[in-house]
Structure 1
């Protein structure tokens, strides 16, 4: 009896092969031939799932977005809203090997998106999704009644910039931007927003 292959699982395995190649060689090392070899497929089999190399890259980039979104959506709400927000932000940061690899792959795709229209569209969509998430996170935070009203758009942009900076630092200088440092920075920022830290 012929082996039944789950096409979506096979496509995800190919995308993960692309990620491994990017981590070892950079995007310059990704080609139809190298991806097929890394995934353990013939080039003909690879083309059955992806017509072009651009299709492979687009799917691999989309999978990064999907994995992050799925992790965030799977989080259980905490009794304390600030803790829920912190746990959500943690899923976006390179706090362990898997998330660091994911961030490195994402950065490589972001650079390539400057010259690849399909990847650029995905990059822009992901930017809007994360910006919206940051806005919802800021809006969910408790504020003392004496506090001035937040400019949600500005604070969402500030939180996004903070996350982006920590991700970049975590990739470029993991010896300095350690998980504990990143968490301290985020915790301090959330304390400012909720008024639970030092006086503003």
Structure 2
């Protein structure tokens, strides 16, 4: 009896292969042939699930966004449950989830930068770059609003402006850490974030 293949699982497995190839060799190396080889599939099998390379890259970008979102959402739940910790420290811990402070987050940052850079030459990728930026600013706005409600931040704080400021800070640190990992270390990123979280 032939093995029944779940299409969603197979597409996710192919997307995971794209991420592995892109993380190891760069996004340009994620050709259909290389991805098929990485996934242990015939190239015809990959083409069965994705009409072309662009569709494969778009799907993979959504998978990456979903992966980051799941990780950050889990961190938010943990931090919200930790009511014994000062709100400011919880906010700092949450914001740190967006920085490449460990191997998982570094790989996500490198992949995200690769995809967003590709968006300059592949306009169909731009909406997904915007989606992640919008998600980040939404989370930042929630953190700031929660800080105001708890009294940890001043009521006069301009939430929209501060969300943009923090987004720029996190993006800048991430870019620098990917570019110069020996100089922009996790310890330095934590110090910079801690220093900037002085709203009073």
TM-score range, shorter chain: 0.7 to 0.9
CA contact (8 A) 2:68 2:108 kept: no
Report the Cα offset of residue 135 of structure 1.
1.4
Match of 1:152 in 2: 159
> Which ranges of 4 or more aligned residues in structure 1 deviate by more than 6 Å?
none
Report the Cα offset of residue 130 of structure 1.
1.3
Task: Spell out the pairing of 1:1-200 with structure 2 (5 A cutoff).
Answer: 1-75=1-75, 76=78, 77=80, 78-79=82-83, 80-141=86-147, 142-143=150-151, 147=154, 149-190=156-197, 192-193=198-199, 195=200
Distance 1:143 1:189, change over 3 A: farther
Supply the distance in 1 between the matched residues of 2:152 and 2:47 (Cα, whole angstroms). Answer: 57
CA contact (8 A) 1:110 1:120 kept: yes
Q: Structure 1: any 5+ residue segments left out of the alignment? A: 196-200
- TM value normalised by structure 1: 0.88
User: How many residue pairs get matched?
Assistant: 192
Report the Cα offset of residue 18 of structure 1.
1.1
